[in-house]
Amino acid sequence: MLKLMLACCKVYISESRNKAALESIEQAAKLFSEAAIVNKFEDVTYNRVGYTVVSKLAPKPSSNSHPLKSTVFAMVKAAFENIDLDMHSGSHPRLGVVDHICFHPLASAPLDQVAEIAKSLAGDIGSDLQACSPYLFIWSCTRRGKDT
């Protein structure tokens, strides 16, 4: 019997008041039917939105072509194209347009496979968008969470 393997990505974007920008980000996510936004949290005071995106993981991993990675990349790209931080105000400290992206395994998904997707996305954001330098937390940077 095959076990269900899911991956989750939380994407925090420094915007909640510009409805046109949020619509563009959400439309970008809808281009990938194998991943879905399952939750959206808007904090108007902070002027920040958090999306939770989920997709299945394939039994044979491939970090280069994964619907979760493609969806999140499209959302990040749309955010960069539609949000101007010079016009932004909010009480939450922010690092940029896209403030934080974190991946989590769900169900019986292996953490190593999800970490590979995170590393691949960070590489694509850094090289293709050239808008930021992604920072990876320890598990994604090293093998099994230990320095190598």
CA 100 to chain centre: 8
Q: Which two tokens stand for residue 105?
A: 């395994």
Set 66, 88, 92, 104: catalytic member: 92
Please say if 66 is a catalytic residue. Answer: no
Cα three-residue angle 64-69-75, rounded to 5 degrees:
140
Nearest to 51 by CA among 87, 79, 93: 79
Residues 39, 26, 22, 90, CA torsion sign: positive
Instruction: Give the up-direction half-sphere exposure of residue 101: CA atoms within 13 A in the CB hemisphere.
Output: 27
Q: Which residues are catalytic?
A: 92
